[in-house]
Amino acid sequence: MFSTFPGGWPGAGLLLLRAAIGVTTIVQGALYLTDPGNLTLETGTVGLAAIASGALLLMGFLTPVAGALVAVGTLGVGLAWFPAATRNLFDAKLPTVFAVIISAAIVFLGPGALSIDARLFGRREIIIPPVSRSPR
């Protein structure tokens, strides 16, 4: 599908991963803030942090920090460290595990070519020097 571009479309897979977990986290944060009967300082803080970190992931800005926040926040909601919203996307174990794995993958893989981080800091290429072996 993207074969018209030389080498494919770099960063498209990471963009999809960032978009999937970013939108999910923004929706979860909005669920925290739109529950008037359960809105406390804790739930408001968790909701605002979820919206902020989801938006950062969606834009690809401060991706390692935002991904780590999403992973820890999702794990915290799944393990009941943080108060859960009444309507909780992560009320089952499997969606929580998937969200944590996707967030951790984004932290380890980086933002990709289609991100603000790539525009600001440039893409990094790791060049491993060849090993010089002595002749025997």
Is the residue at 1 inside a domain?
no
Is the residue at 37 inside a domain?
yes
* Structural domains in the chain (count): 1
Identify residue 30 by its one-letter amino acid code. A
Is the residue at 124 inside a domain?
no
Helices (H), 34-62: 41-59
Helix (H) or strand (E) holding 20: helix 12-33
Is the residue at 4 inside a domain?
no
Residue 53: pLDDT band (50, 70, 90) is very high
Is the residue at 36 inside a domain?
yes
**Residue 28, exposed/middle/buried by CB under 10 A (0-12, 13-18, 19+)?**
buried
Phi-psi category of 114—alpha, beta or left, where left has phi over 0 and alpha has psi -120 to 50? beta
pLDDT at residue number 44: 86
Is the residue at 79 inside a domain?
yes
Which residues span the domain enclosing 80? Answer: 12-117
Is the residue at 132 inside a domain?
no
Residue 54: pLDDT band (50, 70, 90) is very high
Q: Is the pLDDT of residue 129 over 60?
A: yes
What share of the chain has pLDDT > 70, as a percent?
Answer: 82
pLDDT at residue number 10: 60
Lowest mean pLDDT among 20-24, 55-59, 132-136: 132-136
Per the CB < 8 A criterion, the answer to whether 112 and 118 are in contact is yes
Is the residue at 136 inside a domain?
no
pLDDT at residue number 3: 44
pLDDT averaged over every residue in the chain:
80
Taking residue 83's Cβ as centre, other Cβ atoms within 10 Å add up to 15
Query: Stretch 3-14: mean pLDDT, rounded?
Result: 61
